[in-house]
Amino acid sequence: MERPCLSRRRALLLPAATAAGLGALAACAPEDEGYGTAAPLRAEDGTIPLDSVPENASTLVNFGGQQPFVLLVRGAGEELTGYSGYCTHNGCALRQEETELDCPCHGSRFDAGTGEVLVGPATRHLPEVPVVVEDGLVRRDV
């Protein structure tokens, strides 16, 4: 039986009545540290300077709030595409391993440049997350 996946941070927001079941969730998703080969960048106040996002690379960013992790794929200049940082199989937070995103829950892997599924059980590509650049700052466009 598969179990639901929540980040520890999200799990802490649940009512105390469900706390007893949280121990099983702790190993389900990576935390901010120890995140694959590159820790996610952390956005302050929901924005991150475009200059801190490497060009011609993929970078996980923690924008805070609900579903905080977004994969930013930056080309040259302000060419940016955002993808969800959560597995399409059962919602676990992904971790970046070089040019792929790995799911620690059941082993799915995604292309970190396109969001495409490389290895299941996930069958759906990572959905795009709208992002905008204003005054040199990147933020989610929600």
**Rounded Cα–Cα distance for residues 31 and 62 (Å):** 11
Of the pair 43, 92, the CB lying nearest ligand FES is at: 92
Residue with tokens 């956005």: 43
Enumerate the β-bridge partners of residue 59. 72
74 bridge partner residues: 57, 80
Per-residue binding letters, 96-125, with ligand FES (x by CB under 6 A): -------x-xxxx------------xx---
Please say which residue, 90 or 114, places its beta carbon nearer to ligand FES: 90
Name residues contacting ligand FES, limited to 37-66 (CB under 6 A). none
d(CA 79, CA 104): 29
Residue 90 makes contact with ligand FES by CB under 6 A: yes
HSE toward the beta carbon, residue 49, CA cutoff 13 A = 2
Is residue 67 within the footprint of ligand FES (CB under 6 A)?
Answer: no
List residues near ligand FES by CB under 6 A. 5, 87, 89-90, 92, 103, 105-108, 121-122
